[in-house]
Amino acid sequence: MRIALRVVPKAGCDKIDGPVQVVDGQRLKVRVCAAAEAGRANKAVIALLAKSWGVAKSDLEITHGETSRDKLLFVHGNGQKISDWLKAQGWTL
């Protein structure tokens, strides 16, 4: 499973905002307090999503956009928990 993300570093709090429409499609908007320095924001995104979705951090990997606000997240293994969580929020990606 792959999920397109729009990450906002240096935000006031760590939070998953939900889907946002961008020029090239829809992305899941994620805010993190960590700055985009030395991979801190990426690590914070992985930690937030893993905790929210109830999966191991090692199950999530940013495969594209490591230095960009727009990222592609790859979910190793079965993404059913994540799909169920997104549906429970009323979000579709």
Q: Are 26 and 2 in contact (CB under 8 A)?
A: no
* Confidence check: pLDDT of 92 > 80: no
Q: Spell out the domains of the chain, with CATH numbers in brackets.
A: 2-88 (3.30.1200.10)
Stated pTM of the model: 0.91
Q: Are 92 and 82 in contact (CB under 8 A)?
A: no
State pLDDT tens for residues 13-50: 999 999 999 888 899 999 999 999 999 999 999 999 99
Q: Which of 38, 78, 41, 71 is nearest to 56 (CA)?
A: 78
**Amino acid identity of 55?**
V
- Please give the Cα distance from 9 to 1 (Å, whole number): 24
What is the rounded end-to-end Cα distance, in angstroms, of the chain?
11
Q: What is the pLDDT of residue 25?
A: 87
